[in-house]
Structure 1
């Protein structure tokens, strides 16, 4: 492991203004081409950009007050089209043009901050357009929630107990702040979250990036629980 860069939790937040697009025309139930542009997630981070030759587009599904989406990286001169046959909810439309995983469309300045931003963007794009009842990541709060309280706490454990009555911890993190380092030449980002949906849980996310891109493998480990949280 190389030298570790530690961030305050505010570093995970978008730091560029990107005007939100409002869909004034409710689409019909079922699958359709999303009127929302997922690129706004990427463009709201200063260290990230859309890779030359690519763009991001999404299919969306709406029915009975719920929604979901799937995002693709496609060539910049192509557009999504809807297949002629009806697609069931549990199926996913496939682009008729060449397509890749959405992280293939990300580029950036390769700074530690850009990798942290790409780690967050990975989750945001993965749940793009998903209603709260069916989302998971959107209920995660990246720690620490309050930097001042975190600095005043005598230890990581003391701060965690301000967030809930935890059971036994699987491991005690040396810090709760997001960190960046190189592991075997692979850029790596680690952060911790608290999720209040269902069982209140403390989790550690480890994002291991490819050496020359923002494509990544993500491992989530649950470290502790603190009783029943929000139930929909």
Structure 2
């Protein structure tokens, strides 16, 4: 077995790159309401020419059910999350697979869910077909989507590839989230206990908070790193991701190990 310590600065650079690569267009991140509830109804057409104008563009905007909106209706993002892998060493998207993201927006919050889909099933019509179903409270899942987005990832099994995979899966999980739906966004990667807070430890304080990768002889791997959530509830987290001998779909566990002392 070999344990490799990874500089925290490396994790910062990887995360910063992912955040810069996974950016929504303004029109998808904060779409304008197409038909505000408090807006007056449009005036009645005064001629057949004006009436015809209502149909020249496919009807009124309210009927475009799959377009970006602030009414909480899911729609397909134009962003290709797979492009974030183009400049990352050690990882790649498997051939014939495409990453697609669905978004839902309300005025003060947003949700996103990203899937890995075979390219043959990733046409716009196929991706939008699920949006015609009654989703209730469930995010849309397109036909043929892999069970976990990280099943679509392959790599060279290097220590750095596991570091990238652990950060990638967290950024993809939060991609498209806004407002109260955000969590990982509020975490800061650390390699030492923040001194600004007096901490109450819920376990034996770790002696070394440096990010580490452990690679076993059978090619299984594990990565440990730490973060501090800087927005309430403030806490120090330990993250341990365990990878099988093949693939990059990890069993990821995160737990709170310290919180601010009360009083």
Common topology (TM > 0.5): yes
Structure 2 residue matching 1:70: 3-state secondary structure: strand
Structure 1 counterpart of 2:41? none
8 Å Cα contact 1:143-1:192 kept in structure 2: yes
Question: Which protein is richer in helix relative to its size?
Answer: 2
Provide Cα deviations, 1:31-52, integer angstroms capped at 9, x if missing partner: 0112222223433522221112
- Higher relative strand content: 1
- Pairwise CA distance, 1:120: 0.5
Partner of 2:76: 33
Instruction: Note closer, same or farther for the CA distance 1:65–1:21 as it changes in structure 2 (3 Å cut).
Output: closer
Residue matched to 2:133: 85
Name the structure 2 match of 1:177.
210
**SS of residue matched to 1:174:** coil
Task: Answer whether contact 2:111 2:177 (CA < 8 A) is retained.
Answer: yes
- Identify the residue that residue 159 of structure 2 maps to in structure 1: 112
* Shift, 1:114, TM fit: 0.7
Classify the secondary structure of the residue corresponding to 2:83.
Answer: helix
- The 1:169–1:87 alpha-carbon spacing in structure 2 relative to 1, beyond 3 Å, is closer
**1:118-171 deviation digits (Å, cap 9, x = unpaired):** 001111111111004211111111113xxxxxxxxxxxxxx5252421113512
Whose Rg is larger? 2
Moved more, 118-127 or 176-185: 176-185
Partner of 2:43: none
Runs of 5+ consecutive residues of structure 2 not aligned to the other structure: 32-67
Contact 2:103 2:112 (C-alpha < 8 Å) held by counterparts: yes
Unaligned runs of 5+ in 1: 145-158
**Aligned residue among 74, 96, 100 for 1:53:** 96
Q: Contact 1:167–1:224 (CA<8 Å) still a contact in 2?
A: yes
Q: Residue 152 of structure 1 aligns with which residue?
A: none
CA displacement at 1:193 relative to structure 2: 0.6
Q: Partner of 1:82: helix, strand, or coil? A: helix
Displaced runs of 4 or more, over 6 A = none
Give me the TM-score of the superposition, normalised by structure 2.
Answer: 0.73
Query: Which whole-Å CA distance do the structure 1 matches of 2:110 and 2:194 have between them?
Result: 35
Are the structure 2 counterparts of residues 98 and 192 from structure 1 closer, same or farther at C-alpha, using a change threshold of 3 Å? closer
* Equivalent in the alignment of 2:174: 127
Q: TM-score, normalised by structure 1?
A: 0.81
CA contact (8 A) 1:210 1:216 kept: yes
